Each structure stands twice: as C-alpha cells, then as structure tokens.
Structure 1
Amino acid sequence: MSAITPTTRRSSSILDAAARLAAATARPCAPVRDLLGVTDIDSAYAVQQRLTDDRVAAGGTITGRKIGLTSPAVQQQLGVNQPDFGVLFADMDVTGLPEVPSSRLLQPKAEAEIAFELGADLVDGDLGLAQVRCAVARAAAALEIVDSRIADWDITITDTVADNGSSGLYVLGENWLTLDDFEPREVSMRLFSGEELVSEGTGAACLGDPLEALSWLARTARDYGQPLRAGQVILSGALGPMVPTPPGTTVRAELSTLGTVTATFSKDTHS
C-alpha cells in the first residue's frame, strides 16, 4: 500500500467533506472540521468551490455572493479575525414568492442586511473603498435567510466556509437607492418577529461600514480566482443579531432610508 502524501490526504479530506455536506439534504450532518481542521480556511473554500461547481454543473446560475462573520462579536466567538463569503445562486432569491419555502431549509435564521447590485466589475485596481463605492449601481434592504447543514449550528470557521458560508435563501426589498441617496454605515435597522422587536443594529456593525465589507469581498474573491462582476448581487453582512425563523414565522426588517422588507415562512416543513 502506497503512502498517503500530505497533498493526497488534503485532497481526500476535501472530497470527503464535500460529500458529507452534499448528503445533508433531509437532516443536518456532523461538522466537517474533523476532516479539515479548524484553521485551514483554504481547504474549506476548496470544499465550497467543489460544491459550487457541482451545482453549476447541475444547472445552477451564480448571481452573486454573501458576506458573513462581519460582526466582531461573532468573529471572537469563532476565534477568527476575518469575514467569510458564500456563493448566491438564482434559485436562492425568493423575493417573488408569497412565502419562503420552509421545506427547502433545515434550521434557518434571518438577519437584516444591505444588498448591493454591482454596476461594474471589481477585477483590477486596489479594490478599496472609493473603487467599490463607484462600482455599486444601487442598494436595497434585504433579509438573508442563513441555514446550516451542520447539526445544531455547531460550527467553526472551516465548517461554515465549507458549507457555502451557511447560505440559505434571501429576500430583497422593493426600494432601490443609489449611494448618492444614503450612506450605508449610517443606516439603522430594526428586525421584528411578528410584532416583537428581536434585533437592532446599524450599518457600522458591519465591519464599520458595509462598503468596507464589500471591499474585503472584492479582494478576497479575486484572490480565489472568482472576482466580482457587474450585475451581481452582494449581501453585505448582518446589521444585527440573527433570529430563528421556524415554519409560520413572519419577520420584518425596517432599515432607515431603504425601507422595509418582509418574509413569511411557510408552515410546510422539510419532508
């Protein structure tokens, strides 16, 4: 029997982690950090990329990215000092549906964010704050419905990165504005579950400025060989704590200037 080289072992771990996550369709699975460790973020993104490639091969269309771990408190909880990202697909946008399909989710939570739509590619240059500001065509309020294939949300940075940044679905508000109309870092947010206020925050809670989060994403996506492109939607990161959204829940986010976005979760559960 031939010896397993580190490269072979790493490749095998990536394949095994991807297979475990791909199989978690009806119920959550165990964390994948036993395969990837808790610090090898490059391997975690390799798992994410493999799952992304499989989804594209099956007919999925990439429409943007989501940024996660933008809160310093959450970063400290997971022992990391940077955000992460996941890939958005066309079928994750459920804005036009009367209800969010709970049957497509395992253990969802909602968080209120600012969504940016890009009007220019972010490929060349320093990808700093001024450049990404110029690249944003418009922005809207959004609800990101995060979900985890890892049982009980028992995640480290490698678990969530491998699991596409714990992406689920998302809902966009109807009111789109340009950055001439508002400053993302100055936005205030209130999130309600039913009529109960369950989360509050501001744009400054997202890495100090959602545009700073976008700048980080633009550089990181380019580093991984998948730069941001015109027309893509970017969910820039939570403005406050996320809240559970079991079947039958209605959540409403009120973002100053940008307006309101609402989502009602259907009562049908995952079969």
Structure 2
Amino acid sequence: MSTGYALQRQALEQRLASGEQLSGWKIAFAGSAAQARFGLDEPVYGSLTNAMFVEPGNPVSLPRLIQPKLEIELAFVFGRSLPAGHCRDEDILAAIGEVAPAFEIADCRWQQWRFGAGAFLADNAAAGLYSLGQRVAFNALRHACIAYRLECDGVLCGVGDTLDREDSPLQNLCWLVRRLLADGQRVEAGQVVLSGSLLAPLDVQPATYRLHMLGTELALVFVADPAPA
C-alpha cells in the first residue's frame, strides 16, 4: 500500500510539474465487500486535477479512454481550507461549502480491471475524468439523506438513497480528510471530493446518461467518434 501511494504521489507531482492543478480527491473501495476483496480495512483515495474535469454539456469521446466505467457520486466542495492535524467530524463538515451531483469516469490501465491494491493505487485509484452538476449550499442535516436516480437513454439504470447505504458519503468524506492530513496532503478551499460510487460501476457505451440528484439533473454524453478539435 505504501509503495502504491508513493507511486501515485510521484505521478501527481509530474502532472503538476506539467502545468496541471490539483482540483480534489476521489474515494474508492468505500464498501466492506470491496475492502475484503483486496484485504483492506479502510477505503483508498486518488487525486483529481483540472485536466480531468469535463464541463457539463461537453461530449466525451470513448476513443480517448481505455476501459471506462461510469460511477455516480455525491461531490463535496470545500469552502475553506483545513489545517494539518487531527480534525473532528464537526470541523470537517463545517469546512464544506457546497455539494453537487457528480459523474466519475473511472479508467484503468490494468487489463480487464485485474489488479492488486498496490497496483490500483499506483494507477491513481483509476481516476479518469469527472463532471459536476449544479452546486448547492451544504447542510449537514439535510444532506445526510439524498435520493438519486440514473438513466441511460431514458432507461432506468438504478435508484437509491444515501441513508440506506452501508458507507455514507459523509462518513467517507470524514475518513478521507483525516487520511489526507495524516499523509501530509493538502485539503484546501475549492477542492472537490468524490465521495464514492453510489451504484455499481457501469460499462460505458455511446449514450446519454442522466443523473437526478439534489433536485437537479446532470447529463453526460458519450460518443463513439473522437470529439472535434
């Protein structure tokens, strides 16, 4: 695990040196079943940069990806930075300014998604692309229970409620912040946290996916041909 995170950090440093900017973090393996599969006792994380962000309305060309899978997530946006050291849940939640529906396009370099935990971390926890919908002001009580629905070309793919989950987005968020600070990472205002997939990841096909969450709709279009330059 330590080697995987070290390689992940090296890759992030290379991205930043090339001009990309750190925009946030993603959580993976949040559920106990995924953790048990890889012999883990906690989730894992990867980094996000501005180069991974897809503006809503911009189509995503499948040829630019390797083995994409689509995940729906609740995104948190920090309204202020957190200092190094231990943070209580209340401190972490008080630092959140906004929440938004989000798509993550996970992408993996390991053939057929076969990897160990260390290899997964070295591949930046399969962080590929992400897109955020309309942001709303965060309220810890109101946003402890959020319903969501995903459709693909009008066909229902899945529904749920964060209150019914074994791993809650708020719980995952608090774990991530403490782990990042313990690892010497920065948690700064404006950074985004993708708090873990709310449905099983989907193999992506050319189609329009629509996520209904927080009273809004976020659409993401995948196309088979390369996007025009």
Q: What's the TM-score once normalised by structure 2's chain length?
A: 0.91
* Paired amino acid for 1:156: G
What fraction of aligned residue pairs are identical, expressed as a percent? 31
1:216 to 158, 175, 187: 175
Distance in 2, Cα, partners of 1:66 & 1:244: 19
Per mean C-alpha deviation after superposition, the further-off stretch among 237-246 and 188-197 is 188-197
Aligned partner of 2:136 in structure 1 is 176
1:195 to 154, 158, 182: 154
**1:162-192 Cα shifts (integer Å, max 9, x gaps):** 11111010111124232168223x1122222
**1:94-150 Cα shifts (integer Å, max 9, x gaps):** 024520232331111111111111012222453232111100001011011111111
Distance in 1, Cα, partners of 2:138 & 2:34: 29
Structure 2 counterparts to residues 1-271 of structure 1, below 5 A: 41-124=1-84, 126-179=86-139, 182-184=142-144, 186-204=145-163, 208-246=167-205, 248-255=206-213, 257-268=214-225
Distance in 2, Cα, partners of 1:204 & 1:78: 26
Q: CA deviation at 1:209?
A: 2.3
Q: Aligned-residue CA RMSD in angstroms?
A: 2.0
Which 4+ residue blocks in structure 1 deviate beyond 3 angstroms? 204-208
Q: CA deviation at 1:229?
A: 0.9
Between structures 1 and 2, the one with greater helix share: 1
Is contact 1:93-1:169 (8 Å) kept?
Answer: yes
The secondary structure found in structure 2 opposite 1:183 is helix
**Structure with the larger RCO, 1 or 2 (CA within 8 Å, 6+ apart):** 2
Q: CA deviation at 1:201?
A: 3.0
Distance in 1, Cα, partners of 2:13 & 2:47: 11
Distance in 2, Cα, partners of 1:188 & 1:266: 28
Relative to 1, partners in 2 of residues 1:258 and 1:166: Cα closer, same or farther, differing over 3 Å? farther
Distance in 2, Cα, partners of 1:165 & 1:87: 8
Distance in 2, Cα, partners of 1:121 & 1:199: 35
The secondary structure found in structure 2 opposite 1:80 is coil
* Paired amino acid for 1:265: F
Relative to 1, partners in 2 of residues 1:206 and 1:67: Cα closer, same or farther, differing over 3 Å? farther
Is contact 2:46-2:127 (8 Å) kept?
Answer: yes
Distance in 1, Cα, partners of 2:212 & 2:203: 17
Distance in 2, Cα, partners of 1:236 & 1:265: 23
Between structures 1 and 2, the one with greater strand share: 2
Is contact 1:200-1:241 (8 Å) kept?
Answer: no
* Paired amino acid for 1:87: S
Distance in 1, Cα, partners of 2:179 & 2:140: 26
Q: How many residue pairs were aligned?
A: 227
Structure 2 regions of 5+ residues with no counterpart?
none
Distance in 2, Cα, partners of 1:192 & 1:78: 30
